[in-house]
Amino acid sequence: MQGGAAGLAYRGRTASIGFAHGPFVRVDAGAAGERVAGTLVEEALALRNAIDVASGQIADLAASAGGEAAQILEFQVALLEDEDLIEAVFASIGEGRPADIAWRSTLDAQIADYNSAPDDYLKARSSDLADLRDRVVHILRGDQGQPLKVPSGGVVCADDLPPSRFLEIDWSGGGGLALLRGSPTSHVAMLARARGIPMVVQLGTIPDIGTTALLDGEGATLELDPNAEQVRTFEKRRDSHLKSRASARAILRRPTASWRGERIKLFINIQRVEDLEHADAQYADGIGLMRTEFLLAGRSVPDEETQFQAYDAVLRWAGQRPVTIRTFDAGGDKPVPGFTLDGEANPFLGVRGLRLCLARPEIFAVQLRALARAAIRGNLKVMFPMVTSADELEAGRKLFADIVQRLLADGIAAMLPELGIMVEVPAAALAVSSFKAAFFSIGSNDLAQYVLACDRSNGALAPLMDPLHPAVLELIARTAEHGRRAGISVSLCGDMAGDPRCLPALLNCGLRELSVNASALAQIKHTIDRLSSGGSVG
Ligand code: PEP
Ligand code: MG
């Protein structure tokens, strides 16, 4: 979907579910005028003053916002108090740069640093830094930054939007947020979810014109100047969403979900131990995917004890429930300095996931030791990502088994957990019976990217990147069918598991185990309930 005229629609990625119909408001930050530079001392004083003003503005916002928003803003205030950062800017002023240029270039370097972090969470923090950069530059250039004025219920559209700008907007009359770039893991996305503001990110290029807009946070679409028919179908979708949301929370407490008499197991995906604090997590049947890459967010690979503590904490939380931990899936869109290879021409088709771990056994061994020790503490399953051939699984298994033997020989309690693989490379789905895996988990994000030849992070390809494409569904169905015949569990942990519109197709493909973000659990359970009683996805 694309275009520049009335009635056309644009598709991005969901950051917060919900619906908004209102005036279309572009709020991109305008460039403030140039600063006339003074002496070195004047520039240094101007910088100090601008930082104080910015700190004060953010602290005021934090005080009026409270709760989670205040915590998020504290991160920004702490950054403004980072003397190392400020010293670097002073040094740059000392070299003769005006305060605004010195501040901007130092912050730009920091932002680039955050952007190259392997972890989505850290990457998303770069927009907080960009906010500080722009806020201080505007103050230095004599523009104190007027609070954003948005008409009640407006659909706000920006390139990206930092938390502090989000909090300046009065959302009490509803409205929504449409970002051309942005990320579902950004702070502003967390705030939007917490406040129930619909938000769609990575919409690509949108024309500046437009009077009214329909924002569908569920279908991840933005429709500009819609016609009467578009408004009618939008309102239908919105009404059924509102109805289903009200019943979803009640359904969450029920013990099981079932479809056509078969039990559907619903697990959650986590990235970090803190994700278990989500209020709905307790209702999950277990953890279907723990992405361990977050442990690589620091500058070096964490030691065995740090890793063991993280895995152990998750197993303790889960009790008897199964916990599936995925070994490091670095590489591709998740480079890790010192671990992944530099300069690959095509990293998505490069040495990533299990390929990389097998190429760096000294790093992999540390993770496998921690997992082998944690395995005795609960119901642990371990899976390898980005597996192409059965030999890779066997190579990983051999390394793991040798490590367990060595731990036991040293008198350290350990065991080999159940071993499974992610099915996310088309070859693995097509030759699924060649793998001696204890379980399979379908990574539909990567599977779709490789089947459809669409880089998953390229917003321009969003309309083509359709996980419901028959070719993707065919591979999912094949994998599920193999599991059913062989008596091997098959789950799906990619984003489509958390998308209610994909559920009928996934259930019809034969899947009975899904793993979703905790925030999607209620909606998915509710949707299964509706489908099983003959209703629609709604
Ligand atoms: C996937 O590819 O679907 C998946 C679950 O893993 P990730 O998104 O971490 O690559
Ligand atoms: Mg994947």
pLDDT higher than threshold 70 for residue 2: no
- ∠ CA(246), CA(251), CA(254), 5° rounding? 160
118 vs 295, higher pLDDT: 295
Q: What is the DSSP letter of 171?
A: -
CB 230: neighbour CB atoms within 10 A?
17
Least confident of 39-43, 190-194, 479-483: 190-194
Q: Residue 467 Cα, ligand 1 centroid: separation in angstroms? A: 13
pTM for this entry? 0.66
Q: What is the reported pLDDT for 238?
A: 93
The residue ranges of DSSP E strands in 72-220, in sequence order, are: 155-158, 176-179, 199-201, 212-216
Query: Which numbered atom of ligand 1 lies nearest the CA of 269?
Result: 5
Q: Which two tokens stand for residue 141?
A: 């250039």
Whether the pLDDT of residue 460 is over 90: the answer is: no
Instruction: Give me ligand 2 centre to Cα 159, in Å.
Output: 27
The pLDDT of residue 267 is above 90: yes
Lowest mean pLDDT among 193-207, 344-358, 381-395: 193-207
| Residue 69 Cα distances to 65, 66, 173, angstroms | 6, 6, 19
List, for residues 193-245, the tens digit of each pLDDT value. 767 799 999 898 888 778 999 999 988 999 999 999 999 999 999 998 887 77
pLDDT tens, position by position, 14-33: 888 899 999 999 987 555 56
Nearest ligand for residue 494 CA: 1
Listed ranges 193-197, 226-230, 379-383, 533-537; the one with the highest mean pLDDT: 379-383
Name residue, tokens 């990502």: 385
Distances 43 to 129, 142, 145 between C-alpha atoms, Å: 21, 13, 20
Q: Where are the alpha helices (DSSP H) in 344-465?
A: 354-359, 361-374, 390-409, 426-430, 444-452
How far, in Å, CA of 338 to CA of 332, rounded?
Answer: 15
- In angstroms, rounded to a whole number, what is the distance separating the alpha carbons of residues 11 and 7? 13
The winner for highest mean pLDDT among 230-244, 331-345, 411-425 is 411-425
**What does residue 413 show for φ and ψ, rounded to 5 degrees?**
-65, 130
d(CA 281, CA 229): 39
The pLDDT, as a whole number, for residue 49 is: 86
**Predicted local distance difference test score (pLDDT) of residue 502:** 95
CA of 14 relative to ligand 1 center, distance in Å: 16
- pLDDT exceeds 60 at position 116: yes
Given the residues 21, 187, 482, 526, the one annotated as active site = 187
- The pLDDT-based confidence of 5 (bands split at 50, 70, 90) is very low
> Where residue 112 falls among pLDDT bands split at 50, 70, 90?
confident
Percentage of the chain with pLDDT > 90? 48
Residues of the chain by 3-state class (helix, strand, coil), percent to 5: 50, 15, 35
1 has a pLDDT exceeding 50: no
Greater pLDDT, 26 or 397: 397
- pLDDT band of residue 3 (cuts 50, 70, 90) is very low
Per residue in 100-111, pLDDT tens? 888 888 998 888
21 among known catalytic residues: no
- Do the beta carbons of residue 337 and residue 122 sit within 8 Å? no
Q: Give the residue-averaged pLDDT of 483-501.
A: 95
Among protein residues, the one with the nearest Cα to ligand 1's atom 10 is 446
For residue 31, what are the contacts with CB-CB under 8 A and spacing of at least 6? none
Query: Distance, CA 492 to ligand 1 centroid (Å)?
Result: 10
For residue 533, name the pLDDT band (cuts at 50, 70, 90): confident
Answer whether 285's CB lies under 8 Å from 255's CB: no
Residue 472 above 50 pLDDT? yes
Q: Which residues line ligand 1 (CB under 6 A)?
A: 289, 291, 329, 424, 443-446, 493-494
Measured at the alpha carbon of residue 189, what is the angle toward residues 19 and 491, in degrees to the nearest 5?
85
pLDDT at 538: 53
Rounded CA gap, 300 and 489, in Å?
A: 35
- Reported as a pLDDT band with limits 50, 70 and 90, residue 494 is very high
Closest Cα to atom 9 of ligand 1: 291
What tokens appear for 163 in the block?
């938390």
Given a contact cutoff of 8 angstroms between Cβ atoms, the answer to whether 199 and 217 are in contact is yes
* Model pLDDT, residue 147: 67
pLDDT score recorded for residue 19: 96
Q: Are 120 and 183 in contact (CB under 8 A)?
A: yes
Q: Which ligand is nearest to the CA of 491?
A: 1
Over residues 120-172, the pLDDT tens digits come to 666 667 777 887 888 888 888 876 656 678 899 999 999 888 888 888 888 98
CA-CA distance, 507 to 423, in Å (whole number)?
17
Nearest atom, ligand 1, residue 444 CA: 3
- Does residue 493 have an active-site annotation? yes
Residue whose CA is closest, atom 6 of ligand 1? 443
Token duo for residue 386:
């980005």
Q: What is the mean pLDDT of the chain?
A: 87
Write down the catalytic residue from 454, 493, 502, 509. Answer: 493
% of the chain surpassing 70 pLDDT: 91
Q: What per-residue confidence (pLDDT) applies to 122?
A: 65
Assigned token pair, 301: 């690979």
| Structural element, H or E, at residue 40 | helix 40-65
Number of H helices, E strands in the chain: 18, 17
pLDDT at 72 > cutoff 80: no
pLDDT digit string, tens, across residues 160-199: 888 888 888 889 899 999 999 888 767 788 788 767 799 9
In ligand 1, the atom with minimum distance to the C-alpha of 291 is 9
pLDDT of residue 67: 61
CB 89 within 8 A of CB 103: yes
**Selected residue with higher pLDDT from 212 and 246:** 212
How far, in Å, from the CA of 444 to the mean position of ligand 2?
7
What ligand is nearest to the CA atom of residue 267?
A: 1
Q: How high is the pLDDT of residue 120? A: 60
Q: Which ligand is nearest to the CA of 457?
A: 1
What is the C-alpha separation between 306 and 310, in angstroms, rounded? 6
The answer to whether 157 touches 181, Cβ cutoff 8 Å, is: no
* Residues 515 and 506: beta-carbon distance below 8 Å: no
- What average pLDDT does this structure show over 74-84? 77
| CA of residue 445 to ligand 2 center, whole Å | 6
